[in-house]
Structure 1
């Protein structure tokens, strides 16, 4: 299975956790992989440097239309990094922007789609982007939502749309080549969930190695690393990237009005993925 394996998700849904697990699984280190080198093995598709290489000039000279048009070429550059599969983080929808596919299937071997309860996503989005929770709820309902350029991270603008729009777009991906992972299952039944991910990737690895990768990629390990040396993917809007890492926070934090608003905005998709509260 050569080509890109997309590690896709709406922001703040478990993508970094997935990348951390894959780094520890593939590299099989004696101690947990440094969270600040995750991009060495699992790069993101939003790096400005990819676009500079693909177009042959500094990023600031591109129009947004040119950036969009370069996306397939960028994906080919990433796919060519190695003969085997390449794990690539993306927050993009599975769809088109100005007529250009955001995911280039000619370079694609498969995808892991990580999804999280939007009631909890709203809290994490609020913290990460420096928004009120009401502001986060509004962002998650915006079909044109995007992450603006991040100069400190060297990233381009990333379009991800609404929470349900993002999730629904990826349901159109070839289901035989996609594996869906729920954030909550990663927490509640890690061995079963991560072993299924390994099986999807067609990796024949011993159980002990998978268990070690799960242990080395735990929230507590990542949080300890961030406390000791920071995390370069941290937003400038808050103090911690690895904030709480627990499911069900919404029950204690969101108001009834906020819960109702999220459910009314995303009811069909929440039901599809098993997120409607009793």
Structure 2
């Protein structure tokens, strides 16, 4: 029976990087996989077309209540895309919305949760959504936060909550079926970090293939592709999706007051994941 491996994260935390690695790992190409076809192998759960198929009518005719109630059916449609496992991107919390599970466990095999220091996330969120830093801080503290519909991407409204709420919700997922990756470890020790993910997925692959996938999914490769042919998942609020790709930017960008505000707001979760500034 087919089932989903969720690629979950708060927005701008390394989900696209993870998907790029998985594409290059599984396809084992001679050249880096085109970033504009990532969704072919690792689709997102927010496409309007899924809900139109599940509901049997154009998306604009569906009420928000109907969209929410269709979520389990949508997840089963996605799970059925492949005979075995299918990797699916989501920014949703691991919880319920109006009584409907945001993650349908009946068609779930496991999850990879990608987390990033909120002090750096806020800078990327600010750029991606066209918000001032203080506006991004407010968004990341909003327990009811959502990504509005994205007509250009064909996506529905996505509820992801606050940074802490999103991360904390996924700590309740079955620990034996979930693997957590820190963005900073992906950058500082890629062989160990991505290798651990491959082991979690129980993929028996040679080290050379893993190393090639790491190389082909690097920030520099992705940024070069975006410069040459654009990236269809890019926001219309800024010029680049792949902006800097470096941990620790907050030390040069955020004011002391902004650092204090973020750490006060997310202190418990930051401590749990090792992100409290020394």
Q: State the TM-score, normalized to the length of structure 1.
A: 0.99
Shift of 1:83: 1.4
Task: Report SS of the residue matched to 2:179.
Answer: strand
In structure 1, what is the equivalent of residue 166 of structure 2? 166
Task: Report SS of the residue matched to 2:44.
Answer: coil
Shift of 1:82: 1.2
In structure 2, what is the equivalent of residue 34 of structure 1? 34
In structure 2, what is the equivalent of residue 18 of structure 1? 18
Alignment pair present for 1:88 and 2:55: no
Shift of 1:126: 0.1
Shift of 1:2: 4.2
Rounded to whole Å, the distance in 2 between the matches of 1:31 and 1:79 is 28
Task: Report SS of the residue matched to 2:161.
Answer: coil
Rounded to whole Å, the distance in 2 between the matches of 1:126 and 1:192 is 30
Rounded to whole Å, the distance in 1 between the matches of 2:193 and 2:5 is 18
Shift of 1:234: 0.1
Shift of 1:5: 0.2
User: Could you list the per-position Cα deviations for residues 221-268 of structure 1 after superposition, in whole angstroms to 9, with x for gaps in the alignment?
Assistant: 000000000000000000000000000000000000000000000000
Shift of 1:185: 0.1
Rounded to whole Å, the distance in 2 between the matches of 1:262 and 1:97 is 26
In structure 2, what is the equivalent of residue 218 of structure 1? 218
Shift of 1:10: 0.1
User: Residues 139-218 of structure 1: matches in 2 within 5 Å?
Assistant: 139-218=139-218
In structure 2, what is the equivalent of residue 242 of structure 1? 242
Task: Report SS of the residue matched to 2:181.
Answer: strand
Asked if 1 retains the 8 angstrom alpha-carbon contact of 2:2 and 2:80, the reply is no
Task: Report SS of the residue matched to 1:180.
Answer: strand
* Count of residue pairs the alignment pairs up: 278
- Structure 2 gap segments, 5+ residues each: none
Rounded to whole Å, the distance in 1 between the matches of 2:148 and 2:83 is 32
Rounded to whole Å, the distance in 2 between the matches of 1:249 and 1:181 is 19
In structure 1, what is the equivalent of residue 268 of structure 2? 268
Rounded to whole Å, the distance in 2 between the matches of 1:82 and 1:234 is 27
C-alpha RMSD of the superposition: 0.6
Q: State the TM-score, normalized to the length of structure 2.
A: 0.99
